Amino acid sequence: MLEKMIFGRYVPGDSFIHRLDPRSKLLFVFLFIVAVFLANNTATYALLLAFTLFVIFIARIRLYFLFNGLKPILFLIIFTLLMHFIFTKEGALLIDWKFIKIYEEGVRQGIYISIRFLVLVLMTTILTLTTSPISITDGMETLLNPLKRIKLPVHELALMMSISLRFIPTLMDETDKILKAQLARGSDLTSGTIKERIRAVIPLLVPLFVSAFKRAEDLAIAMEVRGYRGGEGRTRYRQLHWQWRDTLIILIFIILVAALIWLRGGN
């Protein structure tokens, strides 16, 4: 499962979403995260879900590929849904079976929160799938440029976040290799008491941390020998260009927010 994890990966393509300026995509995703909290009823959540599926379609990403790569996160979403079913005790009683009681408000809130979590995960994953790490770095640095006036190291922060994002799939691949190696040596991580399972995880964590620090050290040395000294005085080979499609995506977002506000009033 870990080798199929797609969060943080970049898949080259030529879709409408791929051709967008990274600044417009970053701005859109940030504003979308805020706009999601405007939803408060069935119509608004249905609109968010439909819009997210539309973005997936125009990004030319297969749903099977997307959901198969997000299985660990989907498990967390399902767990959140079940927790609301069990622990929210408001509204009419729908199911009363032995010690399990499920109420109408628990079902409603569980579905709403799960959809909110799902669309946030999908939209941020689409960003990383359709935008290369170097483009994310350039776009983030450009958007944060005004903060240089207060002496904030914008370039270093953008680079740090980009490297962190890029290392997510790398660490997932490394974890999967170590896990398979431990299983081949007879380690059992799925049975026994909780204490025994924690002990079994230690042989997995130690080599993972060692590998992560080794990769970080290699990266630091590589950057140093190439003369990296921060953002001051650096030029860019790839120039960002804001085009009509970038303005269009922002206008679409404004229409989405207007629709959410209008549908909220219908609650």
Encode pLDDT of 212-239 as tens digits: 888 888 888 887 887 776 666 666 667 7
70's tokens:
């997000």
Check residues 207 and 118 and name the one with the higher pLDDT. 118
**185: helix, strand or coil:** coil
pLDDT at 2: 47
Round to whole Å and give the CA distance between 174 and 137: 24
Model confidence at 192: pLDDT above 70: no
For residue 180, the model assigns a pLDDT of 78
pLDDT at 28: 92
What pLDDT was estimated at residue 233? Answer: 62
As a whole number of angstroms, the distance between CA 120 and CA 77 comes to 11
For 194-215, the pLDDT digits (tens) are 666 677 777 777 888 888 888 8
> Which pLDDT belongs to residue 3?
47
- Give the predicted TM-score (pTM) of the model: 0.74
Mean pLDDT over each residue of the chain, to the nearest integer: 80
CB atoms within 10 A of CB 208: 17
DSSP 103: E
Quote the CA–CA distance of 49 and 54 in Å, as a whole number.
9
